[in-house]
Structure 1
Amino acid sequence: MTTRLAPPPVAAPAWHVELTPPAVAMVWLGHGRRHEAVAVPGVALAEGEVLVAIELATVCGSDVRTVAGHRTVPTPLVLGHEFVGRVAAISGTVRTVDGSRLREGERVIWSTTAACLVCDRCRRGIPQKCRELRTYGRERLAPRWELTGGFASHAHLRPGTAIVRVDEATPAEVLAPATCGTATAWAAVDRADRVVDVDGAVVLVTGAGLVGLTVSAIATDRGARVIVSDPDPARRALALRFGAAAVVDPGDPARPDDLARAVAAVGGTEIDIVIEASGSSAAVETALCEVGIGGVVVLVGTVSPSAKIAFDPEQAVRTLLTVRGVSDYSPDDLAAAAGYLHARHTAYPFAQLVGERMPLAEVDAALAAAGPGGPVRVALAPGL
């Protein structure tokens, strides 16, 4: 993911919004330091910008890795990029992904990035890799743009942010992760489907975090026979509740043929699609070795530096292998993910993936709770 060291110059404010009480942003100062609360009494909105009151934010694994020192980001900053909220103010005319005009008071989710929409990458349909990219939860705190991440009471959205209107009935715990994990999962399944028809395919998902579990549900609903691989027995049990037809433990040396047995158990002869959602180098190697002739491997889990792996180009040629990388998602993926959750969130226990709600002031405790061995997601609720 591209991270700017400082935001580019911003347009002159068209509207100054006074906030009473002030907005609050929890600012991270760097590795080994606790967050500090910063009051923001007013926000200067330029043309096309939006102020959103955050209803709920969830802690992503990348937030945990950042505070642990495994990712480099410019500090001080406001972390958090999974969120749902309500529009508090709009400057000018702003449209949602479906082209309709955004109104104050509407419940929304929004993309983790803001793109220029005019550079060559944006025109190619990959705005998440825009040459002028700004990323919520990754930008250094700056004057006139303090509300840059999800661990705050409000978010200041820049032009080029994909905004999706959401319904009132779907729980916030379901919607907040859509802006990272769910939309990324949708994109991963979609990109695989462009190479191999997901309907009827044998799909191996490595990693049963939020992305992997959501991939399992989406692929199952699209007719796939899904096998989920994860070393955690609790996560394997959870995968069965998210549509997996079989689960395997990749780290059990006593059962080296478990994957082959699982493929046979779901009525397959080989693996057609692998979606690697764990970020483990060993899982990437398994994906490349185990996918069948003409298959596709979608790599989505490796979002921080990892061990290098061996790659056999002859094998790739002879097996007609396709390897695709998925990093974030397009605006259409976000809209599709929101629609999927609206339609199917009661079919799978999406709401149960989020543990307790914690007050915004307890962000450090929330990050600790979201670490290894914790729930899939922990939530921060500014209203508590």
Structure 2
Amino acid sequence: MPQSIRKRKKHSPTKMRPARTSLFHGSNQPFEIYQCKIEPSDVGEVLVKVNLAAICGSDLHTFTGRRTSPIPCILGHEAVGQVAESTDVTDFNGNTLNEGDRITWSIVSSCGTCLNCTSYQLPQKCETLSKYGHAQRSLPRDLNGGFAQYIRLQPGTAIFRLPDSMADSESVSLNCALSTVIAGLNVIDIGDSVVIQGCGMLGIYATSLLRYYGCGVVAVVDVRSDRLKMAKNFGATHTFNLTEVSPDQINDELLALTNQYGVDLVVEVSGVASAFTDSLDWLRIGGYYLTLGYVYPEAVTIVPMDKIVRKCLTIHGSHNYHPRFLGDAIEFVQETRHQYSFNLLIGNTYPLAEIDQAFQEAIKGNQIRIGLNPWE
């Protein structure tokens, strides 16, 4: 029989029970907890037991209706787990995966052959992209989100083994927040002085990363004193609370720190539209503005374009990442985990059955990330 029409070989999961999953039905609606039958994996797929998942800001955007998602679906893309069955699939570095390997993975699967994947080197914008936690439920093979006991990784997903020394709580947000920050900074002339707008998970990662890169001034701007205090523990040299000082006062402070030139770079990770206009005065002539947080349609503001032109500013938007940056994220945390307490970025962890309470807690914003343990 010609290979092209052979029946695809399936891996039969052994000792598998139905998987408990959570189903999202629409903004501000209760999640449905249900049992999903685990179908055999096709060639190229990898069944993963989810050890820990985290509620990302984009999950909150979807839940509150700030961005749309096909429904019903299984939300969740920040996750870490273990290979749940034997497989012939290799990891990103070409090594065969084994059952029991603890792994993280890219938040998308991509074809590797389209124009975006090849010429533009933007596989996260693949023409046939599938994004975990943002795809509609497709019975019977619907394990495509992280808020479940198992997730099935599709061909075209970059998979990385995790070092034994790194805890799940240190690893769970690498495949979204940290990799996104590393990818964005990769195309920027960082310089020595930086302002970070926003002190959530991306802001904390950006703070520690920019100090690691050797920046002398890493100033963090937010409206929460508790988060700004945490930023200090992750390398911030200066912090500014917008409930206590105005953008103009911050500008005066930044000019004093940079010999009246202004900062080299502003990194936006707040998602607050007005943050963009605030920053234009802070940047030096020829400075760079990197935005990572405007991922919802209502991020609209009036911009004084003359400042961009007259100051010769470079504005760069970056969304998600090339898979190689996930490898860089693992190496960074492994190298600096004794300097920075990355495990503390995951706050309260809820059982999957209490996902409604977990989301309500995450919306309050009192903790950087809320965790979900599908097995409790």
TM-score under structure 1 length normalisation = 0.90
1:221 is matched with which residue?
212
1:206 to 197, 200, 213: 197
Aligned residues: 368
Counterpart CA distance in 1 for 2:348 and 2:335 is 24
Alignment partner of 1:17 is 2:13: yes
2:83 to 67, 84, 87: 87
2:91 is matched with which residue?
96
1:183 is matched with which residue?
179
Alignment partner of 1:133 is 2:129: yes
Alignment partner of 1:372 is 2:368: no
Q: Which moved more, 1:101-110 or 1:254-263?
A: 254-263
Q: By how many angstroms is 1:185 displaced?
A: 1.6
Instruction: Give the SS at the match of 1:26.
Output: strand
1:6 is matched with which residue?
none
Kept in 2: contact 1:84–1:172 (CA 8 A): yes
Alignment partner of 1:270 is 2:262: yes
Distance 1:27 1:318, change over 3 A: same
1:281 is matched with which residue?
273
Q: By how many angstroms is 1:67 displaced?
A: 1.4
Alignment partner of 1:165 is 2:169: no
Instruction: Give the SS at the match of 1:257.
Output: helix
Kept in 1: contact 2:207–2:236 (CA 8 A): yes
Q: By how many angstroms is 1:358 displaced?
A: 1.3
2:114 to 119, 122, 125: 119
Q: Which moved more, 1:265-274 or 1:117-126?
A: 265-274
Structure 2 gap ranges (5+): 1-6
Distance 1:121 1:207, change over 3 A: same
Give CA deviations for 1:5-34 in whole Å, capped at 9, x if unaligned. Answer: xxxxxx956223255332111111222432
Give CA deviations for 1:162-184 in whole Å, capped at 9, x if unaligned. Answer: 11111122111110011111111
Give CA deviations for 1:292-332 in whole Å, capped at 9, x if unaligned. Answer: 11111101011112342233444333322111111011101
Aligned 1:212-251 pairs, distance under 5 A: 212-224=203-215, 225-251=217-243
Instruction: Give the SS at the match of 1:370.
Output: helix
Counterpart CA distance in 1 for 2:60 and 2:339 is 29
TM-score under structure 2 length normalisation = 0.92
1:363 is matched with which residue?
355
1:71 is matched with which residue?
67
1:3 is matched with which residue?
none
Alignment partner of 1:156 is 2:152: yes
Q: Which moved more, 1:270-279 or 1:356-365?
A: 356-365
Kept in 2: contact 1:206–1:229 (CA 8 A): yes
Kept in 1: contact 2:24–2:74 (CA 8 A): yes
Aligned 1:290-301 pairs, distance under 5 A: 290-301=282-293
2:329 is matched with which residue?
337
Distance 1:266 1:352, change over 3 A: farther
Instruction: Give the SS at the match of 2:214.
Output: coil
2:103 is matched with which residue?
108
Distance 1:306 1:82, change over 3 A: same
Q: By how many angstroms is 1:100 displaced?
A: 2.2
Distance 1:244 1:177, change over 3 A: same
Counterpart CA distance in 2 for 1:128 and 1:186 is 14
Distance 1:127 1:360, change over 3 A: same
Distance 1:85 1:255, change over 3 A: closer
Counterpart CA distance in 1 for 2:167 and 2:259 is 36
Q: Which moved more, 1:341-350 or 1:214-223?
A: 341-350
Instruction: Give the SS at the match of 1:42.
Output: coil
Instruction: Give the SS at the match of 2:105.
Output: strand
Counterpart CA distance in 1 for 2:130 and 2:15 is 24
Counterpart CA distance in 2 for 1:19 and 1:129 is 37
Structure 1 gap ranges (5+): 1-10
1:311 to 299, 303, 307: 303
Counterpart CA distance in 2 for 1:156 and 1:148 is 6
1:42 is matched with which residue?
38
Kept in 2: contact 1:202–1:268 (CA 8 A): no
Alignment partner of 1:52 is 2:48: yes
Q: Which moved more, 1:309-318 or 1:298-307?
A: 309-318
2:4 is matched with which residue?
none
Kept in 1: contact 2:254–2:263 (CA 8 A): no
